[in-house]
Structure 1
């Protein structure tokens, strides 16, 4: 069984059900749009349209992100107070799959009109003119039900393909192509199924625009360090994620964020403090990405709460130990390790000093490797 960890994964399963967006409440645990991870709702704010009716909901989550949910959308929430999400799909308004499939299967060749009984060709159907795309939405002000006015910027500009260049200059340049690195890692760990499965899949092509590919890279980095004690290989894999920018997608960022926490730890172990600090700066880049003042304040408040009151899964680990469920215990400890690595790389927590975080990280490493 393969084990990996990111700060927002959850082992085990629970039952989820669909709820309307207007039923979102603090304390609920939602499946994120990627259908794999979940997060707890801390706060919910409602955006009204020009007619005074709910149009959009901002759900502030405990994974340092805000989720936008349109009024009328149905989302998946855990039943009761369960804390373990199943890998269910985010239930939003579905696209017309049938129409999309028909368009995909339609041939690209020119269609010839059939001839009538007299042999004369039928009249060709009129050409459908292309409708120009609607102009990009401009900035506007919207009122929350709290009475606060929020300025919404216009259409988002294109995201950069790489993170901050000045920070990246402090990291070593990659020596190999990603696919070559995957093949080299696979060859260096013969007979290791967990490594082979991930490395072989990634060797076929590393697509950094794919959330699943990023999750595989993160899982491989953790497996190399924790399962195989290959810190050098783990850092090379983590570096493939470290150069990627924050693009506003919580699911994609979860993989990058988790890899940055691990990379900072590995750099510190190697005595490369400036390199570790660079990973920490990259980890904090989303904090300056929000241009809307209201959402930026909400995100900062949630972020500081998560730093000062981190979830280290004490109850879940204690329950697994009592039940003598070693696999379940390891899964929760991997989550605790991911949280500790994040806290250490990010900094700014009032709950733990750096030395205490280092001690706890070593304890969890020994536990998950046992």
Structure 2
């Protein structure tokens, strides 16, 4: 298998989100460039295997939903050094947290979240997933640090939907935020991949009647979202900036989800982008006053 130059770290994605052109990290010295990817179903019609055809003619068979490591774009460096520099997932995790804290050493929220997360990441614990999402959210929304926010998001954006909506809520939040950050940076392909992953749980219900009811509920949520207008207005009129900030953050999270989900009949993508910019400005303005 051919070797290429990865970035200083690799990131995890679910196998079904792989796309041609990416380089799968097989071990510390081997990268496998992808030529084509398709999904095979089991006998009941459920997605079961991701078949990844490599550029050298070989094939990888990966379980649907399994996380794989993918090399980032090439830096200006020696190929052999770059491959040796790919750290383990644990090293990547620690490096991402350290970079976030180093960029904002005086921020109390960042320090508290990094301290909790430095004990390790348990992907089965909703509280751990929430801390990751909250750290990324703090970096992006409060501190305007898109680079570190995206790196933090990547710690959990490769996790798939496992039927637990409590945990999925935080993963989905990180995916929606990553979709927004990459959209802003002009990486439309990455933004589309994150947006597609946001919808992973939409069709999870196997019972036909429940699936129909879930689809109807989802459509209502998309077309008639609660944007907390009355709550924001009430807090603003009362001069309660802390409460107003909290409600605006809830509104921002809803807008990010709507944009990542492809918008709705009520709000176009352009309108959602306008509202997101407005909300970011408002929240950051309130941060300065608190």
| Smaller-chain TM-score bracket | 0.5 to 0.7
CA distance in structure 2 between the partners assigned to 1:170 and 1:186 by the alignment: 24
Query: Equivalent residue for 1:360?
Result: 275
Change (3 A) 1:162 1:220: farther
Q: Which residue of 2 aligns with 1:119?
A: none
Match of 1:207 among 117, 122, 129: 122
More helix as a share of residues: 2
Change (3 A) 1:255 1:315: same
The structure 2 residue matched to 1:333, chosen from 245, 248, 251, is: 248
Range that drifts further, 301-310 or 346-355 = 346-355
**Kindly tell me: are residues 312 and 162 of structure 1, through their superposed partners in 2, closer, same or farther at Cα, counting changes over 3 Å?**
farther
Matches of 1:207 and 1:289, distance apart in 2: 23
Once residues 162 and 169 of structure 1 are traced to their aligned partners in structure 2, the CA distance between those partners, rounded to angstroms, is: 16
Distance 1:314 1:170, change over 3 A: farther
Q: 1:306 aligned to 221, 235, 250, which one?
A: 221
Contact 1:308 1:350 in 2 (8 A): yes
Please, which of 172, 180, 192 is the counterpart of residue 277 of structure 1?
192
> How much does 1:324 deviate?
0.7
Change (3 A) 1:327 1:196: same
> 1:137 — aligned with what?
none
Residue 188 of structure 1: CA displacement? 2.1
Q: How does 1:1-370 map to 2 (within 5 A)?
A: 163=65, 176-370=91-285
d(CA) in 2 for partners of 1:292, 1:172: 42
Q: Which secondary structure state, in structure 2, belongs to the residue aligned with residue 204 of structure 1?
A: coil
Aligned to 2:52: none
* Residues 176 and 260, structure 2, Cα contact 8 Å, conserved in 1: yes
CA distance in 2, matches of 1:222, 1:161: 31
Greater RCO (Cα-Cα under 8 Å, separation 6 or more): 1
Give structure 1 regions of 4+ aligned residues with deviation exceeding 6 angstroms.
168-175
Structure 1 residues 359 and 249, CA gap change in structure 2 (3 angstroms): same
2: CA distance, partners of 1:230 / 1:197 = 17
Distance in 2 separating the partners of 1:280 and 1:171: 19
CA contact (8 A) 1:242 1:260 kept: yes
TM-score, with length taken from structure 2: 0.68
Q: Which runs of 5+ in 2 are unaligned?
A: 1-43, 49-61, 75-85, 286-290
Q: Shift of the alpha carbon at 1:272?
A: 0.3
Matched residue SS, 1:288: coil
Q: CA deviation at 1:161?
A: 9.3
Name the SS of the counterpart of 1:357 in structure 2. helix
Shift of 1:184: 2.5
Distance in 2 (CA, whole Å) between partners of 1:184 and 1:263 is 18
Q: Is the Cα contact below 8 Å between 1:179 and 1:206 reproduced in 2?
A: no
Deviation at 1:170, TM superposition (A): 10
Report the structure number with the largest CA radius of gyration.
Answer: 1
Structure 1 residue 288: deviation in Å? 2.4
Count of aligned residue pairs for this structure pair: 212
Distance in 1, matches of 2:130 and 2:63, equals 18
